[in-house]
């Protein structure tokens, strides 16, 4: 049985815990949250993982895998030390890697600990194809993220516009993946994932759209290179607990965990 420490107990983390309930190959042995989140996390664990205690730090022993679902600060505080100790980690908050030097810090920490950090694909597919195409040479990668206006609330998209009053699609951002992930960290994980698999944060073109005509999160990736050309479009249902996040992000995290424990993985 693979013993898992989960960092974060928000919309994604709590959904992961629920989906892993009863899984014979995986056991959540610790849930790491800030001090102020201990009571809420413990209440959730009583429902889905009785006997598991919420904590403010990853245990130094008894953990086979650390899974992060809590953002940039959690990567710095918990993932980096775990990697240095030799514990493999799975990172869901890929958008955090738009911060200057964070990807390099993760790589160095993993090398120091003789282990590996895995970035999950999250809400987008085709990452395996894009990463393979990079080997032969990529000429361009373009990502368009289209979501309902309500999914952009609480972001810079609200500056100078009334999202509730939109009657037609509105381009709220156009630029590099690095800029997109920095300005829209809770909406642009996909942009960061696509860029890290392909041409990098500064050479991947991103377009973010608020569209009142859609009720799903629509992700489109276009790539051209020595391999040829591909276009991928995904219409993802938002996570019920958080419209800024696709439900597929949760399923991607659970898949990564089950692949770690499975005898045959794909």
Q: Where are the domains of the chain?
A: 2-119, 127-239
pLDDT band at 107 (very low <50, low <70, confident <90, very high): very high
How far apart CA 165 and CA 212 sit, in angstroms, is: 9
Give the CATH H-level superfamily of domain 2-119.
NAD(P)-binding Rossmann-like Domain (3.40.50.720)
- Radius of gyration (Cα) for the chain, nearest Å? 19
Active site residues: 219
pTM of the model: 0.89
- Which pLDDT does position 241 carry in this prediction? 77
Q: What is the pLDDT of residues 49-84, one digit of tens each?
A: 888 889 999 999 999 999 999 988 999 999 999 999
Residue 167 has pLDDT above 90, yes or no: yes
- Find the mean pLDDT for residues 222-237: 96
pLDDT band at 47 (very low <50, low <70, confident <90, very high): confident
Q: Is 123 annotated as a binding residue?
A: yes
Cβ count near 61 (within 10 Å):
6
Q: Is 168 annotated as a binding residue?
A: no
Which among 239, 174, 164, 249 has a CA at the least distance from the CA of 206? 174
- CATH fold of 127-239 reads Dihydrodipicolinate Reductase; domain 2 (3.30.360)
- Which pLDDT does position 67 carry in this prediction? 97
CA distances to 42, 120, 127, 136, 230 from 133, rounded to whole Å, are 44, 18, 10, 5, 10
Which among 175, 202, 186, 184 has a CA at the least distance from the CA of 244? 186
Determine the distance from the C-alpha atom of residue 95 to the mean position of all C-alpha atoms in its chain, rounded to a whole number.
7
- Which pLDDT does position 228 carry in this prediction? 97
- Are 9 and 31 in contact by the 8 Å Cβ rule? The answer is yes
**242 against 169, higher pLDDT:** 169
Residue 192 has pLDDT above 80, yes or no: yes
Of all helices (H) and strands (E), which one includes residue 68? strand 65-68
- Find the mean pLDDT for residues 121-142: 96
CA distances to 38, 172, 223 from 195, rounded to whole Å, are 35, 19, 11
Phi, psi of 236 (to 5 degrees): -100, 135
**98 against 110, higher pLDDT:** 110
């Amino acid at each position: 049985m693979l013993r898992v420490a989960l960092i974060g107990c928000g919309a994604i983390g709590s959904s992961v815990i629920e989906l892993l309930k009863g899984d014979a190959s995986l056991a959540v042995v610790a849930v790491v949250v800030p001090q102020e989140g201990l009571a809420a996390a413990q209440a959730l664990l009583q429902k889905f993982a009785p006997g598991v205690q919420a904590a403010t730090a990853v245990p130094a022993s008894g953990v086979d895998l650390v899974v992060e679902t809590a953002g940039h600060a959690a990567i710095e505080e918990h993932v980096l030390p775990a990697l240095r100790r030799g514990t493999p980690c799975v990172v869901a908050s890929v958008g955090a890697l738009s911060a200057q030097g964070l990807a390099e810090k993760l790589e160095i920490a993993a090398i120091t600990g003789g282990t590996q950090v895995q970035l999950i694909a999250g809400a987008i597919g085709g990452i395996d194809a894009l990463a393979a195409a990079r080997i032969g040479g990529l000429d361009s990668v373009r990502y368009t993220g289209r979501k309902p206006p309500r999914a952009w609330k609480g972001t810079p998209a609200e500056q100078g516009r009334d999202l509730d009053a939109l009657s037609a699609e509105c381009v709220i951002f156009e630029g590099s993946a690095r800029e997109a992930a920095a300005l829209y960290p809770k909406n642009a994980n996909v942009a960061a994932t696509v860029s890290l698999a392909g041409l990098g944060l500064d050479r991947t073109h991103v377009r973010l759209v608020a569209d009142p005509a859609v009720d799903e999160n629509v992700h489109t990736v276009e790539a051209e290179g020595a391999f040829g050309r591909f276009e991928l479009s995904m219409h993802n249902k938002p996570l019920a607990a958080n419209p800024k996040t696709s439900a597929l992000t949760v399923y991607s995290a659970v898949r990564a965990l089950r692949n770690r424990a499975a005898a045959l993985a794909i």
